[in-house]
């Protein structure tokens, strides 16, 4: 990935992104006898996010549905602290009703992680 492209993506996030909340759920121990998890704790990160629609040619109604979007997240929250890798159990709040993350890709430039590209569904 070229440094110029990675800079462009970060500029999109900084200039046109909006502040949202990345909500990560942390699960306690699983009890196989009861079939339950002992506790669920939500950890929230305030982060700037840029949303983009998928192209119509990418929508296949198999993996990508009409209304799905891409969410570009930087690698740090708004306080400058490192953002943990988002996963498919996370939710982005503050973008309407909330968007569930379906899939995550990482964008790298050499050894530096530039951003997370999340496929999200409302």
- Which of 64, 67, 107, 81 lies closest to 22, judged by CA? 81
pTM for this predicted structure: 0.85
Q: What is the dihedral of CA 20, 97, 64, 83, to 10 degrees?
A: 20
The 10 Å Cβ neighbour count of residue 34 is 8
Q: Which domains does the chain have, with CATH numbers?
A: 3-27+35-121 (2.40.10)
Supply 76's token pair. 């740090």
pLDDT tens per residue, range 73-95? 999 999 999 999 999 989 999 86
How would residue 40 be classed by pLDDT, with cut points 50, 70 and 90?
A: confident
């Amino acid at each position: 990935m070229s440094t110029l492209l990675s800079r462009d993506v970060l500029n999109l996030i900084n200039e046109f992104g909006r502040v949202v909340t990345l909500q990560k759920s942390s699960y306690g121990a699983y009890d196989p006898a009861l079939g339950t998890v002992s506790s669920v704790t939500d950890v929230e990160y305030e982060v700037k996010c840029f949303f983009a629609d998928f192209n119509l040619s990418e929508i296949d109604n198999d993996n990508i549905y009409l209304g799905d979007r891409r969410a570009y997240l930087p690698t740090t929250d708004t306080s400058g602290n490192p953002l943990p890798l988002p996963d498919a159990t996370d939710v982005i709040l503050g973008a309407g009703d909330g968007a569930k993350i379906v899939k995550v890709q990482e964008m790298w430039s050499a050894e530096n992680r530039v951003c997370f590209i999340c496929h999200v569904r409302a």
